[in-house]
Structure 1
Amino acid sequence: MSPVDPQTPAAGLPSRAARAGYVIPAAIVRPALRGLVRQVWEGTENLPETGAILAVNHISELDPLSVAHMVYNQGLLPTFLAKAELWKVPVLKQVLEATRMIPVERTRDGGRSLDAAREAVATGRAIIVYPEGTVTRDPDGWPMAAQSGAVRLALQTGAPLIPVGQWGIQELLPYGGRAPRPFPRKTARIRIGAPVDLDDLCGAPMTASGLRAGTERMMDAITAIVADLRGEPAPAGRWDPRTGRREPGA
């Protein structure tokens, strides 16, 4: 039997070098979040051990750190598809590069971000996608109309598409440049759902109608989780930022 190089990961598992880039950010972020909010994580048994796509509702500019903390604590490496403009911010650029986040050029990406995401899934990372593309503009904070990238990536890779809902951290840092509100201490809840069923779409030609159907299932699952976390029913339809109103089947 050939010796195993300890620096070479088994198929589908992140390398030791990949994990090393998270050590310093994790040492800063984890204690800071623990001090700022009570964190409640539910459904973590729905996370696979390697190679997953997490589709998450976006409610605060702070929630990527909260979601990444949850994922990292489950032994996975959180990898975001993030807008390329963030790589222009000093210090943040170094963190993004060290943790191998994936830049997205919104106007001229040409599929490069999806190619990079496929490679990341193949090496066992957890790809975190905000299907809405930005912090929700719904006046009441509900998930908005979504883009189909997460479903496309799941169909292309065969990785499970995991719906994730969160609520509470927006009370610490509301969207829109408002000041943080650390007191009283807030509770940030994250719940991981069962994988979205895309079996009927797998192996079939990828069409716009199929991607829309898969995206609707994904957003229905996320919205149902958020409704449970909020303890109230979701409104009919979803907010469409293009029209500035809730649209049926958006």
Structure 2
Amino acid sequence: MWYWLFKYVLLGPLLFALGRPRIEGAQHLPSHGPAILASNHQAVMDSFYLPLRAPRRITFLAKSEYFTGTGLTGRFQKWFFTAAGQVPIDRTGADAAADALAAGLRVLGDGNLLGIYPEGTRSPDGRLYKGKTGMARMALASGVPVIPVAMIGTAKLNPIGSRLPRPAKIVVRIGEPIDFSRFNGMAGNRFVERAVTDEVMYKLMQLSGQEYVDVYAASLKEPAPNAPIRSGAAASG
């Protein structure tokens, strides 16, 4: 109930006014049955505007930190993500990959749409980064199609570090479903998983028009080990 209230009453009208979102390729979304929606990830608002324009409910795998906060803000955040039907996963433990796979397969097994960001995190600079293979493992294990989704304009509306959104034009561009049934029986093969992932990322590059970078986005957000600390003019430069 809360999902639809957020979409049509509590948040939807405000988001429409801010982003004037339009959807392209809506005919590629299945009217029923499970599928994986693999999207580029430019901003937090991606997780709002994709469900806003998709006619069916979408479930995302959300990091467990959203559900474990303390204080008034933490309790509200936990309630919001729980009410919206998002599924918490622990991305830090030794079994993180297996837990995420199991959670995703449960969503797909119930015949639902599963939203995934193959890059694993938001793009730090607007470019498209190398995809992680978790999405491919889910697709191969479940046999469901992967639908590429390009979110365009959300980085302008909700830049990294911004507190409040700013008006922008949002486009949700849906690509044709990709059928990976030719790889039936090859789940667990890391070369096949990489091939599946790279094919999806290539489609995302075509849909979004982003420049592709063949490194993981997370590697740019982590300080290099034993990196020297510079100060003064050198650091400023």
TM-score bracket for the superposition, by shorter chain length: 0.7 to 0.9
2:41 partner letter: H
Kindly indicate whether residue 219 of structure 2 is the aligned counterpart of residue 238 of structure 1. no
Instruction: Give the 5 Å matches for 1:156-195.
Output: 156-175=141-160, 177-180=161-164, 182=166, 185-195=167-177
Q: Give the gaps of 5 or more residues in structure 1.
A: 1-19, 228-233, 245-250
The corresponding residue for 1:144 is 129
The CA distance in 2 between the partners of 1:29 and 1:82, in whole Å, is: 19
Partner residue in 2 for 1:83: 63
Q: Secondary structure at the match of 1:25?
A: helix
Deviation track 1:144-193 (CA, whole Å, cap 9, x = no partner) reads 11111111111111111110011112111111x135462xx411001010
| One-letter code aligned to 2:17 | G
Cα deviation, residue 241, structure 1: 3.6
Q: Contact 1:25–1:95 (CA<8 Å) still a contact in 2?
A: no
User: Paired residue for 1:63, among 35, 43, 46?
Assistant: 46
Amino acid at match of 1:105: D
Does the 8 A contact of 1:142 with 1:223 survive in 2?
Answer: no
Measure the CA separation in 2 of the matches of 1:100 and 1:242. Answer: 26
Distance in structure 1 (CA, Å) of the matches to 2:104 and 2:28: 21
CA distance in 1, matches of 2:218, 2:103: 29
Aligned equivalent of 2:104: 117
1:91-147 C-alpha deviation (Å, 9 max, x unpaired): 22122223331112112236223222212112222100011111112x3x1211111
**Percent pairwise identity:** 28
Write out aligned runs for 1:1-250 (5 A). 20-26=1-7, 27-50=9-32, 51-71=34-54, 74=55, 76-88=56-68, 89-108=74-93, 109=96, 111-137=98-124, 139=125, 141-175=126-160, 177-180=161-164, 182=166, 185-227=167-209, 234-235=210-211, 237-241=213-217, 244=220
Q: Count the aligned residue pairs.
A: 212
**If the length of structure 1 is used for normalisation, what is the TM-score?**
0.78
Deviates more, 1:217-226 or 1:205-214: 205-214
Q: Which moved more, 1:126-135 or 1:199-208?
A: 199-208
TM-score under structure 2 length normalisation: 0.82
Q: Whose helix fraction is larger, Structure 1's or Structure 2's? A: 2
| Structure 2 unpaired stretches of 5+ | 69-73, 221-237
Instruction: Assess if the C-alpha contact under 8 Å between 1:82 and 1:101 holds in 2.
Output: yes
Q: 1:236 to 1:129 in 2, by over 3 A?
A: closer
Could you tell me which residue of structure 2 aligns to residue 7 of structure 1? none
Change (3 A) 1:153 1:63: same
Q: Distance in 2 between matches of 1:110 and 1:220?
A: 23
Q: Once superposed, which parts of structure 1, at least 4 consecutive aligned residues long, lie more than 6 Å away?
A: none
Give, as a single letter, the amino acid of the residue that structure 2 aligns with 1:163.
Answer: P
